[in-house]
């Protein structure tokens, strides 16, 4: 099995991507791998409201960087070498492109665990990455809180 030297983790600040970030940090620590955190600014979505909200793209980039930096900070506190990138485009395509561009050995993404019907109608970034990545992809689902614990 080839050595995993660079792990790319995609994050968007959601609980699913937080779980992916935690798993990627743990894996990078165990393997002695470098962690590359990627957040994608979906320019199509952001610029749709740009005429109404000037500076929206700039704000979206700043927010994406802050989310990615938080994961990098967590990784570094754990002793993992980590950096981040902010890409623009459609999330699935940008994650795959970033993995190729940065020579990642493994991609880690979160999933919301939607049903097959939900993926059919809503699409799925993690599904896109799994289908199009040239390197292995680990899909992480956030742990569910037991219903008895929520009161």
CB atoms within 10 A of CB 3: 8
Residue 51 predicted with pLDDT over 80 = no
- Please tell me whether residue 131 adopts helix, strand or coil conformation: helix
Count up the domains in the chain and report the number: 1
148 lies in some domain:
no
Q: What is the pLDDT of residues 120-139, one digit of tens each?
A: 433 488 989 999 999 999 99
pLDDT at 59: 83
122 lies in some domain:
yes
Q: What is the pLDDT of residues 77-120, one digit of tens each?
A: 999 999 999 998 999 999 999 999 999 999 999 987 655 544 44
1 lies in some domain:
no
C-alpha–C-alpha distance, residues 98 and 86, integer Å: 9
For residues 72 and 120, the model is more confident at 72
151 lies in some domain:
no
C-alpha–C-alpha distance, residues 84 and 150, integer Å: 34
81 lies in some domain:
yes
Residue with tokens 């754990």: 78
151, two tokens? 């009161």
pLDDT at 142: 82
Give the mean model confidence (pLDDT) for residues 31-40: 97
Longest CA pairwise span in the chain (Å): 52
Segments forming the whole domain that contains residue 76: 6-142
| Whether 25 contacts 78, CB under 8 Å | yes
149 lies in some domain:
no
pLDDT at 146: 45
150 lies in some domain:
no
Instruction: Give how far Cα 113 sits from Cα of 17, 37, 67, 76, Å.
Output: 12, 22, 22, 29
Give the mean model confidence (pLDDT) for residues 17-22: 95
110 lies in some domain:
yes
Share of the chain above pLDDT 70, in %: 80
C-alpha–C-alpha distance, residues 118 and 107, integer Å: 23
Of 75, 58, 66, 60, nearest in space to 8 by CA: 75
Q: What is the CATH number of the domain that holds 138?
A: 3.40.50.620
Instruction: Estimate to the nearest angstrom the gap between the alpha carbon of 119 and the chain centroid.
Output: 18
Residue 151 predicted with pLDDT over 60 = no
Mean pLDDT, the chain, as a whole number?
A: 85
Give the mean model confidence (pLDDT) for residues 59-85: 95
């Amino acid at each position: 099995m080839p050595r995993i030297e660079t792990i790319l983790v995609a994050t968007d600040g959601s609980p699913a991507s937080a779980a992916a970030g935690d798993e990627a940090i743990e894996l990078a620590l165990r393997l002695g791998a470098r962690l590359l955190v990627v957040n994608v600014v979906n320019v199509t979505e952001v610029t749709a409201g740009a005429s109404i909200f000037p500076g929206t793209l700039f704000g979206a980039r700043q927010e994406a960087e802050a989310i990615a930096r938080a994961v990098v900070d967590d990784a570094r506190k754990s002793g993992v070498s980590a950096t981040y990138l902010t890409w623009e485009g459609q999330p699935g395509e940008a994650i795959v492109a970033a993995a190729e561009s940065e020579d990642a050995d493994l991609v880690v993404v979160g999933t919301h665990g939607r049903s097959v019907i939900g993926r059919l109608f809503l699409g799925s970034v993690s599904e896109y990455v799994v289908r199009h990545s040239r390197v292995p992809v680990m899909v992480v689902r956030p742990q569910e809180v037991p219903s008895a614990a929520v009161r």
